Amino acid sequence: MSATSPTRRSLLPFALRMERRLESPRGLGALTTIGAVVVALLISAVIIWWQGGDPIDVYAHIVRSSLGSIGVVSDTLVKATPLIFTGLACSVAFRMRLWNIGAEGQLMMGAWGASAVVLVGWLPDGTASFIYLPLMLLAGLGMGGLWGGIAGWLRARFNVNEIITTLMLVYISQEWVKFWVFGPWSEGGFQMTERFPREAWLPRLTDHSDLVSDFAGLTVHLGFALAVVAAVAVWWFLNRTGKGYEIRLIGDNPRAARYAGIDIGRTIILVMLISGALAGLAGAAEVSGVVHRLQDNFSPGYGFTGIIVAFLARFNPLGVIVAAIAFGALILAGREIQPAGIPQMIQGVVLFCVIASDVFLRYRVRLVRR
Amino acid sequence: MNLELALAAGISSGTVLLFAAIGELFAERAGVINLGVQGMMFVGALVGFSVGYNIDPWLGVVLAMVAGALLAALHGLVTIHLQANQIVSGLALTFLGTGVALVLGEGLPSGSSPLLPVVTLPLLADIPFVGAVFFSEQSILVYAGYLLVPLTSIWIFRTRPGLHLRAVGEQPSAADALGVNVYRQRYAYVMLGGALAGLAGAYMTMSQVPGWHADQTFIAQGWIAVALVIFGQWKPGRTMFGAYMTAFIFRLSLDLQGPKELFGIPNIFYEYGPSTFVLGMLPYITVILVLVFAASEANRKRIGAPASLGTPYVRGERGH
């Protein structure tokens, strides 16, 4: 079956013919993604140049300050850690065509939950790490799951559009965190809480520089390892379990899934719980591994960048790791780039090119002579 | 707190939501969801303010609409021709528009005087209460908003092109069989939607809160506009009501922080500063509750979105 393109320009000596592919060749997905990123970087370069910047300078700076030395590579991995979690959160939901775009809010609540473990003061001073850390991560996971679950329940029970609710919950969570850091948990009127005790910090490589002297100054923390483990676990869940199969089936063909007797409402709630929990872990790992306190605006939009990470990885949990590191580099280097919007713009252009490039997966596009 | 002033302010800021939501309504009626409203508004705001501030306000308005329409055309190209997922493309548009506007808006002044005329309608403004709320000291674009809604309604429900629009959104294959060019219709209305989103942005930075505030300008306006279309059940009148009400609630959450006493009891939001953040959640919680309400009403009355919403039309393929 061939569908011809709706555009026909008879003025040109050739025409675009689009033929639907029955299946796409192996490796084409990765190839088109790379091609799309290259095109996106070229487009971004034009915009930067138009704005009066030097695109080569900007790109060279990004590479140098994110991969130039072992120290900055470690910093890149620190930035990639929350992105892996939020990228996974989005991938799980998007795989079933559930548009959880509010990972940012679930991350906020996760961070709040982890902070609450320290700040409510139920644990005595000097509590050991092996009690603090699991509790903090669990609290982050729980609060994130709750936040995602609310949207999932509203979708399953009332058929309320999850795009809007997850996003509104982002704004609610931001106000919620502000309330606590400006109010009850404020340290001396500043918009941040007191610093967590050392026992509540996720261990970093630099903490072990007495054992291996090269570790000095490397801030990459246990959260990165946890994120990689989470990615493998999510891959296993989606590809090797019955529930994962159901999720993929709903994503590919909801009607068939319904006929197969899958309870779609329950699966929606489950997936939103998992998705929220993963994003919540991002927040917990960030406050415990990097910031060491809760403060306003500690996230430069990790939840939103997670959306792009998920698409770049084509919802493949292992691909998420790679995409997250690339965007971690962009965020890390982006802090010093002026004007400040450049990283965000590049993200937008990349996402656009990636989804536009999908057409090459679905169609064989050919130029034919008239 | 002065109720008339608060309501008038709600109308003023609700006009931003109104333009954006009516634009989205057109696109969705044609079967295309465009979640890039926020991005198109942002670019419209940038173009409108920078052209309006440096050259001419009305040229700014026009170019803002053109910019919004061009971005929307990009969404159209990707979703109508390349058949990409509409939700994803819209998200990409939001990221793109926001990013591009932040980059190109670098260095614009953060405040200015209103660039568009503020008008008080002679006789209508004298009507008690109503006059003060709707017809006094409002930007000229607010009045344009009043006109836009009935015109949209007539266009969609009472004219032949409106019939075509609805047909394209409900059953594109049938419309196609009748000789309506589905692709052209979808492009036209998606771009109209973009133009209105651009207008919403321009109105905001040129009139409502004049100046370029980068991040702070749009907290969630574009997204709320999308929600309003759902709440409005794809009807202009209900959407307008929703826009003004939401804006009023936003305004209320600010106004409640001012007075020392509310209804004779000490105002907690005044006494304890951080509690204003609890108040700040109010508008967003309202949006969620309103959507729950609208969804259950739609379920009961069996009202739904345009039937082909979100699905690309491919000529000659089954399933449309």
What value does the mean pLDDT of chain A take?
89
Residue-wise pLDDT tens digits, B81-114: 888 889 888 988 998 898 888 888 888 888 788 8
Q: Which of B37, B43, B95 would you mutate first to test chain A, the one with the most A CBs within 10 A?
A: B95
Residue with tokens 């039309």: B313
Distance in angstroms (rounded) separating the CA atoms of residues B43 and B21: 16
Minimal-distance CA residue of chain B relative to A189: B274
Distance (Å) of CA B229 to CA A145, B200, B223: 29, 15, 10
Inter-chain CB pairs, A–B, below 8 Å: 160
- The per-residue pLDDT for A121 is 82
CB A362 within 8 A of CB A1: no
The ranges assigned to domains in chain A are 70-338
- Residues of A within 8 A of B37 (CB-CB) are none
Highest mean pLDDT among B53-57, B117-121, B125-129, B305-309: B53-57
**How would residue A3 be classed by pLDDT, with cut points 50, 70 and 90?**
very low
Instruction: Using an 8 Å CB-CB cutoff, list chain B residues near A359.
Output: 82-84
User: Is the pLDDT reported for residue B162 higher than 90?
Assistant: yes
Q: How sure is the predictor about A122, in pLDDT bands with cuts at 50, 70 and 90?
A: confident
When scoring A355, A357, A359 by the number of chain B Cβ atoms within 10 A, the one with the most, hence best to mutate, is A355
- The beta-carbon neighbor of A158 closest among B103, B280, B295 is B295
Say what the ipTM of the complex is: 0.88
Average pLDDT over residues B10-27: 96
Domain residue ranges of chain B, discontinuous segments joined by +: 3-301
pLDDT at A370: 66
Is the predicted pLDDT of residue A6 greater than 70, yes or no?
no
Radius of gyration of chain A (CA): 22
Q: What is the pLDDT of residues A314-353, one digit of tens each?
A: 999 999 999 999 999 988 888 777 667 778 888 888 988 8
B92 with A346: Cβ contact below 8 A = no
Question: pLDDT tens-digit profile of A204-243?
Answer: 988 888 888 888 888 899 999 999 999 999 999 999 999 9
Report yes or no: A39 at the B interface, CB cutoff 8 Å: no
Render pLDDT for B242-256 as a digit per residue (tens, 0 to 9): 999 999 998 888 888
Measured distance CA(A303)–CA(A170) in Å, rounded: 9
Q: What is the mean pLDDT of residues B16-39?
A: 95
Name the phi and psi angles at B124, rounded to 5. -60, -30
* pLDDT in the model for residue B215: 61
Structure tokens at A340: 């400040």
Report whether pLDDT(A259) > 80.
yes
Segment of A182-186, A283-287, A358-362, B302-306 carrying the highest mean pLDDT: A283-287
Q: How far is A151 from chain B (nearest CA, A)?
A: 10
Helix, strand, coil tally for chain A in percent (to 5): 70, 5, 25
The A residues from 320 to 349 touching B (CB cutoff 8 Å) are 338-349
CATH architecture of A70-338: Orthogonal Bundle (1.10)
Compute the average pLDDT of residues A51-77: 88
Which residues of chain B neighbour A167 with C-beta distances below 8 Å?
Answer: 220, 223
Q: Supply the pLDDT for residue A10.
A: 57
Measured from the Cβ of residue B62, the count of other Cβ atoms closer than 10 Å reads 18
In this prediction, residue A201 carries a pLDDT of 93
Kindly report the number of other CB atoms within 10 A of residue A20's CB atom: 12
Q: Positive or negative CA dihedral for A123, A124, A130, A133?
A: positive
* Burial of B260 from C-beta contacts in 10 A (0-12 / 13-18 / 19+): exposed
Calculate the average pLDDT of chain B: 89
- Whole-number pLDDT of residue B320: 46
**Residue A7 pLDDT exceeds 70:** no
A368 or B197, higher pLDDT: B197
Residue type, B138: Q
What CATH architecture does domain B3-301 belong to? Orthogonal Bundle (1.10)
Judge whether A352 is closer than 8 Å to chain B, CB to CB: yes
Percent of chain B surpassing pLDDT 70: 96
Tell me the whole-structure pTM to 2 decimals. 0.90
Does residue B297 have a pLDDT over 60? yes
Q: Which whole number is the average pLDDT over B213-218?
A: 63
Residues A122-140 have a mean pLDDT of 91
In chain A, the percentage of residues whose pLDDT exceeds 70 is 96
Put simply, the answer to whether A182 touches B273 (Cβ < 8 Å) is yes
Say whether residue A7 is in contact with chain B using an 8 A CB cutoff: yes
Chain A residues 172-201 with CB within 8 Å of chain B: 172, 175-176, 178-180, 182-184, 186
